[in-house]
Copies of this chain bind each other. A is one copy, B any other.
Amino acid sequence: MSKVRLALAQTNPTVGAIQANLRQIITNIDEAIEQGATLVVFGEMALTGYPIEDLATRESFLIEAESAVKELTQILQNPTYKDLTVVVGHPALTKANKEHGWAIAQNCATVIHKGQVLGRYAKHHLPNYSVFDEYRVFVPGDELLTFELDGLRFSTVICEDIWQSGGPVAELSKNQTDVTLILNGSPFEIDKDDRRLELVSELTKKHSCAAVYVNLVGGQDDLVFDGDSIVIDSKSRLVARAKQFKSDLVLIDIDSKDDLTVVGEHHLTKPNDNWQIWNALVLGLRDYVHKNGFTSVVLGLSGGIDSAVCATIAADAIGAENVFGVSMPSRYSSDGSKDDAQDLAQRRGLNYQIQAIENLVKPFETQLELDGLAAENLQARVRGVILMSLSNKQGMLTLTTGNKTELAVGYSTIYGDTVGGYAPLKDVEKTLVWQLAKWRNGYAKSRNEIEPIPANSIEKPPSAELRPDQVDQDSLPPYDVLDAILNAYVNNRKSAKEIVSYGFDEQLVTKVLTLVDRAEWKRRQGAIGPKITGVAFGRDRRLPITNQFKG
């Protein structure tokens, strides 16, 4: 028998649902002890969900979290749990110096041993970049917590602590740590997973210890926690990897820092990038829908690629029977588009209806004497009113189908095609939308399922169909060029000059950057959607609307 059997509990909490999260924690503990675990480790803030943002500034919230920790401690006094140690993440009220504003909370890991609180660790490095505002709401801790179980020494740290240098993490070797327990709320980002593995490996090398990296899983507003927790021994060997995009409980036998064994089946690798991105989008949508009390979604089906991919993600997330597609053809809609929309709905068995907009648009055009751009926007806005009316009538969440490229250059009608509470493709650039569509069809084919997305929707030139014979490329450069420029400007913060130096036409670069800057006010009013890249629009990129800087 091993010294310690550790259960890595990768749970999917809901922000603010403290009692439900506590029950989830207890269920995991029960399952873990059934499998012989003596130590159970949860992710960052598993008790309250993460990130809690300004909830951390509400004393009543912190008090409720604290009393849930107490409740858990009392439950663990039951003889059933007599040999058990639990490490759980939660926010705590602090009396520490609040020199930087009104922070009154710390981001903590509490160790409960035999039904008694053995100690509490407070996160030292508070991420305050990208989507994170932890310096805003938390007071940093500065002491490592190390405890001993059956001759093995465990230390706890939290997420950002291992992404920065200095702080308590520097004390790991001094404290003779055998196994570092890292509680994380680390959101999915394309390629970030490898960075985590790398960082944890470096840690095990540097401090000559094993490491258990426990991540959360689940969607929370614009973030998708992908799980993918890992265990690495002191020789930097990957011992175990939890599921990605699913809750999981992984058992590890630990005899020494270089003798860790996973219990049962395990996979050390994971599927390709397209699979990961797709599953991030599916989980993000599913959790947004369910955690906000919806059961169904409604979206416009234009016959184009964006709405086809959105509908397919939604069907994968919550079942085709809960997806309501609406075709809203106008005088400019081609027969092809109408057919493609219907084809899409039929392939997957989505609910489908047609609402022609001609009789709704005409009275506005006449009364307000609209033409040109105003008349184009009108069509999109009438469609917006239809979708929101159906949403109001049936309590469905409206999805907005715009992609990151459109959002970047403002190629959308505000209060028109932008209406909705959730934007599945918000952080997916147009070229990636096509790539995902093809991948998803291929995935279906490989499983002998019907390809969900009509080939036409993938192959035809994209068009907003707001005037005769319009295609996107009338107003925009080819999407591969556009996405490359946007990637340099938005994700990599490059200047016009630098982007031109990569070989792009100067006039084009100026035009694209101006479009991006001018669309800031529209983006500010946009729906949230899952972040999958290094820089998503939203709280990940905070620019003034009133901004005359060019460059």
- Residues on A lying within 8 angstroms of B by beta carbon are 14-18, 20, 51-55, 57-61, 64, 99-103, 125-130, 133, 135-136, 164-166, 219-221, 287-288, 291-292, 355, 359-360, 363-364, 367-368, 370, 373-374, 377-378, 381-382, 384-386, 388-390, 392-393, 414-415, 419, 421, 493-498, 521, 524-528, 539, 541-551
Identify the closest chain B residue to A496 (Cβ).
B60
Chain B positions within 8 Å of A355 at CB level: 367-368
Decide: A546 and B386 in contact? CB cutoff 8 A: no
CA distance A117 to B56 in the complex (A): 44
Decide: B392 and A377 in contact? CB cutoff 8 A: yes
Chain B positions within 8 Å of A133 at CB level: 128, 133, 136, 542
CA distance A524 to B54 in the complex (A): 14
Q: How far is the CB of A330 from chain B (nearest CB, A)?
A: 14
Which among B17, B125, B414, B544 is the interface contact of A53 at CB below 8 angstroms?
A: B544
Chain B positions within 8 Å of A292 at CB level: 521, 545-546
Please list the 6 inter-chain residue pairs (A to B) with the smallest Cβ-Cβ separation, ordered nearest first: A101-B129, A16-B549, A60-B495, A374-B392, A17-B548, A16-B548
Known contacts A221-B544, A525-B527, A388 near B415 by CB under 8 Å: yes
Identify the closest chain B residue to A356 (Cβ).
B367
Q: How far is the CB of A14 from chain B (nearest CB, A)?
A: 6
Decide: B14 and A546 in contact? CB cutoff 8 A: yes
Decide: A546 and B135 in contact? CB cutoff 8 A: no
Decide: A64 and B419 in contact? CB cutoff 8 A: no
Q: How far is the CB of A383 from chain B (nearest CB, A)?
A: 11
Decide: A102 and B129 in contact? CB cutoff 8 A: yes
Known contacts A360-B363, A525-B525, A378 near B368 by CB under 8 Å: no
Decide: A364 and B360 in contact? CB cutoff 8 A: yes
CA distance A349 to B368 in the complex (A): 22
Decide: A367 and B359 in contact? CB cutoff 8 A: yes
Decide: B521 and A421 in contact? CB cutoff 8 A: yes
Chain A to chain B contacts (Cβ below 8 Å), 22 pairs: A14-B548, A16-B550, A17-B549, A54-B541, A54-B542, A55-B543, A58-B549, A61-B549, A99-B164, A99-B166, A100-B164, A128-B128, A220-B544, A221-B546, A287-B546, A355-B368, A364-B389, A378-B385, A378-B389, A381-B388, A415-B415, A525-B526
Chain B positions within 8 Å of A103 at CB level: 129
Chain B positions within 8 Å of A367 at CB level: 355, 359-360
Chain B positions within 8 Å of A497 at CB level: 60
